[in-house]
Amino acid sequence: MTTKERILVTGGAGFIGSHTIALLLDRGKEVVVLDNLLSGRLTRLPLTHSKLTFVEGDILDYPLVAKLVHGCDAVLHLAAMASVSFSITHPLEAYQTNAYGFMHVLEAIRQADHPVRLVYASSAAVYGDAAHLPCVEEDASACLPLSPYALHKVDNEQQAKLYTRLHGIEALGLRYFNVYGPGQDPASLYSGVISRFLADHSHEVPLTIWGDGTQARDFIYVTDIALANLLALESSYSGVLNIATGQPETIFDLIQYIAHASERAPVCDCQPKRSFDIHLSYAAIDLAWQKIGFKAMVSLEKGVEVMVQQRD
């Protein structure tokens, strides 16, 4: 294991990136952030911190990416068009960012004059409606993507594995499950169900449920994601890992937690299930513990309670 002291974070002004950067800075790391600010916000970053450098730019700008990569010893690649619905309605634009942008990062690392470790955001979306649960990393047959975004992440994983095999690059993909927590913008295309539910509930707007409410997800709090990113950067393991709690929770469970934390029952509006919605998804988490020592610490009930208190 080699300590990584100067880290490039692409998409660092986003929800996950900003929480991770706070942890990296707290651990004494130097951080360079590359973000085009299409969905990221500068207000999320401690811009006056002496160990933080912000660069406004795009991962599709290869010369810029290469210059920044060459000045760092690790890359945390979070930049993406992460909206499933956007990837369906704008497939070319989403593919350009998610596939070509990722290749720019990989190629810049290959061309660097020193070893540069890559940790990148993959997604539980690669599993689709998995035939076997919990979702296990080594089960190649389990990857059945239901959206262009999910397919982009499968492509990223395959490209990273190829570069590891051909060029010896250390590359670790983290399959984040359903991330939530403070700072997630409920109005964003990239926002998850929890932040939208809490925003609607606080404004006494009915909560839209796509399906019958029995669909279940593996929800993971954003500070746990930040910790997983840190541990992954400090590791030398290459491959893919699930980053999750291993505990499925239904939408009805989530609504009960919101009701308990807010002391007010939400009003729900059930709509037909959408074609790209996954009914049941949760992760096998043993490999993340074995390879990087990661285990999620925050339960969904506790996480929802914290978010409700912060909104009050």
Q: How many residues does the chain have?
A: 312
Reply yes or no on whether 149 is catalytic.
Answer: yes
Inter-axis angle of helices 148-167 and 101-111, to 10 degrees?
Answer: 10
Distance from C-alpha of 2 to C-alpha of 29, rounded to nearest angstrom: 13
Distance from C-alpha of 183 to C-alpha of 63, rounded to nearest angstrom: 32
Which entry of 95, 120, 127, 149 is annotated as an active-site residue? 149
Checking DSSP bridges between strand 74-77 and strand 117-123, what pairing results, if any?
parallel
- Burial class for 204, CB neighbours closer than 10 Å (0-12, 13-18, 19+): exposed
Distance from C-alpha of 223 to C-alpha of 63, rounded to nearest angstrom: 32
Catalytic positions: 149
